[in-house]
A = this chain, B = another copy of it.
Amino acid sequence: MITNKNCIIRLSRYKNALYRLRESGAVKVFSNNLADAIGVLPSQVRKDFSFVGISGNKRGGYQIDVLIGKLNSILGKDELQKVIVVGAGNIGTALMKYNGFEKEGIKILACFDIDPRKCRRSGKIPVLPLKELKDFVIAHKIKIGVIAVPDSAAQAALDIMIASGISGVLNFAPIALKPQREAVINNVNLELELESVIYFVNARAKTERGSAI
C-alpha cells in the first residue's frame, strides 16, 4: 500500500497523460514525455514507477498500453467505482454534471439532500431524500462518498455516511471532520486553494518591490 497521497495523485496524472498520448497515436513513451506532460522532473517519474514496481528501460521507454494497464491495476481502477454525493447545491450539481468521472471508471449513482425541493427521482443521477441514504448505500455496496454541504451540516452528513458503511470521503466543506470510526477523509477547500495562490502572488510582488529599492 502506497501511503503517499501525492504519489497516488501523480500516478493518476501519468495515466491521464498516457490516455491522451495513446489517443494521439503514440505507442511508446519515455519518462521525460510523462514528466513534461504533468510538470515534474523525469527523475520523479522514474522514482514513482520504481516505487510501485514498474520497470522500463532508458533506451526503449515504456509501452503505453502496458503502462496504462499496470497503473489501472495499482490504482484499483479495474472495476467501476460507485460514488454518492451528499448535498445538491452548486458544488454537488457541478460534480453530477461533470463528464470527467465516467472515463476514469467513477460513477456517481445518486445524490442526497435534506431539502425535499431539491430532490428528483428522474434524471441521469437521481437526487434523493437524505433519509434514504443508508438503505441505498447498503443496497449498492457503496464505499465512497462526497460531502458537498455547508460547514454546519458536514459533520452530520459524515456521521450518516459512516454509519451506512462508507469508508472514504471527499469533503468540500471547509471544516475538519471527525469520523466515528477509521475512515479516509480527503479535504478539498476552494477558499484555501485560492488563498494560497493569492499569498504567493503577493509575496512575489513584495519581493520584487523590495529588490527594486
Interface residues of A (CB under 8 A from B): 1-2, 5, 8-9, 12-13, 16, 37-39, 75-77, 81, 83, 90-91, 93-95, 97-98, 100-101, 104, 106, 143-144, 146, 167-170, 174, 176, 184, 186, 188-207
Chain B residues contacting A95 (CB-CB under 8 Å) are: 190
> Which residue of B1, B8, B190 is within 8 Å of A100 (Cβ)?
B190
In the bound complex, how far is the Cα of B189 from the Cα of A106, in angstroms? Answer: 14
Q: Which 7 A-B pairs have the closest CB atoms?
A: A168-B201, A90-B94, A76-B202, A39-B176, A1-B203, A168-B197, A184-B200
A sample of 10 more A-B contacts (CB under 8 A), given A8-B200, A91-B98, A168-B200, is: A2-B203, A8-B195, A9-B196, A13-B192, A76-B199, A98-B190, A144-B197, A167-B201, A169-B197, A186-B193
Chain B residues contacting A16 (CB-CB under 8 Å) are: 174, 191
In the bound complex, how far is the Cα of B200 from the Cα of A2, in angstroms? Answer: 8
* A92 → chain B closest CB, angstroms: 9
Chain B residues contacting A192 (CB-CB under 8 Å) are: 9, 12-13
Q: Which residue of B lies closest to A176 (CB)?
A: B39
Pairwise interchain contact B81-A90, C-beta atoms closer than 8 A: no
Chain B residues contacting A169 (CB-CB under 8 Å) are: 197
Chain B residues contacting A205 (CB-CB under 8 Å) are: 143, 167
Query: Can you sample 25 A-B contacts with CB below 8 Å?
Result: A1-B204, A2-B199, A5-B200, A8-B200, A9-B189, A9-B193, A9-B195, A13-B176, A13-B192, A16-B174, A16-B191, A38-B176, A75-B198, A76-B199, A76-B203, A77-B195, A77-B198, A95-B190, A144-B194, A144-B198, A168-B197, A168-B198, A168-B200, A169-B197, A184-B200
In the bound complex, how far is the Cα of B207 from the Cα of A2, in angstroms? Answer: 12
Pairwise interchain contact A106-B191, C-beta atoms closer than 8 A: yes
The answer to whether A195 and B12 touch (CB under 8 A), given A38-B176, A202-B76, is yes
In the bound complex, how far is the Cα of B90 from the Cα of A91, in angstroms? Answer: 8
